[in-house]
Structure formats: structure tokens, C-alpha cells
Amino acid sequence: MLLGYNTNGFAHHGLFEAIALLAEIGYRSVAITIDHGALSPREDWRGQLRRLKSNLEDYGMRSVIETGARFLLSPDHKHEPSLVSATLDQRVRRMEFTMHAVRCAAELGSDCVSLWSGTLRQPIPPGEAMTRLASDLGDLANYAAASGVTLGFEPEPGMLIDSMARFQELLALVDAPNLKLTLDVGHLQCQGEVPIAEQVRRWGPRLVNVHLEDMRRGRHEHLMFGEGEIDFPPVLQALAQVGYQGGVHVELSRHSHEAPDAARRAYAFLQPLIERIGSTHG
């Protein structure tokens, strides 16, 4: 596995400044959250993409594309529109944005495009919302497959698909070969889906992307390592046991005010554990 970092934790840095800092620290993968100034479809993303591809190659870094920017598509509603928004126009906007992310991932050779369901904000039956989501997700999976891109679906607390149990329900409706799993370790702790190592072993064959941060049960708050309740060695051991070789990306979006220090502290905590586990399973 490769230790990485999500650029949403560098909200006050330029994209290329953030990646240069991460490479200098020693990170080997980067989760690129498309946002204002970072591959936004409203800006000169093509030129930025060419430069980004060259930079990643120079640094020897892998990548994934993340679609979870807070206010990129709507300045006044966080994470909207989504794949479960009320109107067709809103859902089409999210679809078009995700297809843009797929095009970026294809050009970069990224491991996946990571996405989630969105929050159900209107009173419709959950079954109808699931059917709507499955239909759109199936179309996105087909679009991504045509470009050789994998989707990594992330269960997110507070959203329609908020747990591994709900993700299992979704797979019963759409199970495209390139629909994989973005597993956020902290979300498992938040939702009480523990032991986390058992969840890793169960879902190992579908893993394409991993998010790491500390967290407490019942509170969706991304914390620095050591400030929550997660015992990380068994989690990393389980990832090694299932043969996971992708990026494990630190996600500390609320630490952007201290991003360089946060990235160094996270690296100092995690990299020795990964190296120790790697020597055992190598």
C-alpha cells in the first residue's frame, strides 16, 4: 500500500504547491479533490491537467480523483447537487461533473474516481431514491468503463448510502465490474461498523481506494491520529493481509489551516507502521 494525502486538506494552497510539499514529505500517492483552482471544469483544466500529469510522473506519485468538494457546484448548498437531488436538472449537473472527473482520471491514469450518493433532502421513499441512484450510477459506470476508469463508491455518514450495509443494498441493484469501493476507515468507526479490520477483510476484493483519519464512534469529525478511538495497526495489518496495493489517503480537510504540519504529523505516525507491516508481509 502507498501512503497518500487528500488535497482537500490543503485548501489554502495551490494544487501544485500542495503536491510538491507532499512529495517532499514522502507521500507516494495523492487524492486530488476537484475544486476551485484544482481541475475545476469552469477553469483552464486542460492545461492544468497536462502539467499535473507531468508533475506526478516526475514525483513518481500515484493518484485518485475525488469528487467531494463542498461548494464547487453550488455556492450556498454543501455537496449539492448530488445523484439523489430532487430534480433531473440537478442530477444531470452531478452526472456531468462526475464525467468530467472520469476524463481527468483517464488522462492521469488515476486508480479511480471516488464518489458518493449525496444526501436525500426531499420526502420521497428511500426505495425510489435507491432506484434513481442505481440507474445513474450504472450509467456512470458504463461511461467510465469506456475510458478504462474504475469508480470507487464511498459510504458517507449522513448520506443515503451511509454504511456498508446500505452499500450492499446498492450493489444488489447495480454491480458493474468497474464499480469498486472507497473505504473510509473513520466512517466505519463513526457508524459503529467494527471491528474495522473485519470490514477490511470482508471487502478486500472490492477495495480501490482507502481514506484514513482518526474518529470517535457516533461523531463524524475527522481527527488527527491519536485524537480518536481507532487502533490503526490491526487496520493496516488487515489491508496487507488482503493484498491491498493502492493508496491509503489521509483525509484531514478541517486541518487546512495547518496543512504542512498536519501532513508531516500524519506521515510520522503512519509511515513507520506501514513499513513495519510491509516487512512482515513482504
Which residues fall within 8 angstroms of residue 18, CB to CB, at 6 or more apart?
7, 10, 259
Cα–Cα distance between 141 and 180 in angstroms, integer?
10
Grid cell digits, residue 121: 433532502
**H/E segment holding residue 132:** helix 126-146
- Residue 114's identity, in one-letter code, is S
C-alpha R_g of the chain = 18
178, 145 in Cβ contact below 8 A? yes
Degrees, nearest 5: CA angle 238-240-245: 130
Pairing label, strands 113-115, 207-212: unpaired
The residues near 127 (Cβ < 8 Å, ≥ 6 apart) are none
Distant-in-sequence, close-in-space partners of 75: CB < 8 Å, separation ≥ 6: none
Q: Give the chain's count of helices (H) and strands (E).
A: 9, 10
- Residues with Cβ within 8 Å of 15's Cβ and at least 6 positions away in sequence, in order, are 7, 32, 37, 38, 39, 48, 52
* In contact, 65 and 56? CB cutoff 8 Å: no
CB of 188 closer than 8 Å to CB of 232? no
Kindly state the DSSP code that residue 204 receives in the 8-state scheme: G
Instruction: Give the CA distances from residue 235 to residues 76, 104, 106, 114, 185, in Å, rounded to whole numbers and listed in that order.
Output: 37, 31, 30, 21, 8
What domains are there in the chain, each with its CATH number? 2-281 (3.20.20.150)
pLDDT in tens, the chain (282 residues): 999 999 999 999 999 999 999 999 999 999 999 999 999 999 999 999 999 999 999 999 999 999 999 999 999 999 999 999 999 999 999 999 999 999 999 999 999 999 999 999 988 887 889 999 999 999 999 999 999 999 999 999 999 999 999 999 999 999 899 999 999 999 999 999 999 999 999 999 999 999 999 999 999 999 999 999 999 999 999 999 999 999 999 999 999 999 999 999 999 999 999 999 988 876
What's the confidence (pLDDT) of residue 97? 98
CA dihedral for 16, 18, 23, 29, sign (positive or negative) = negative
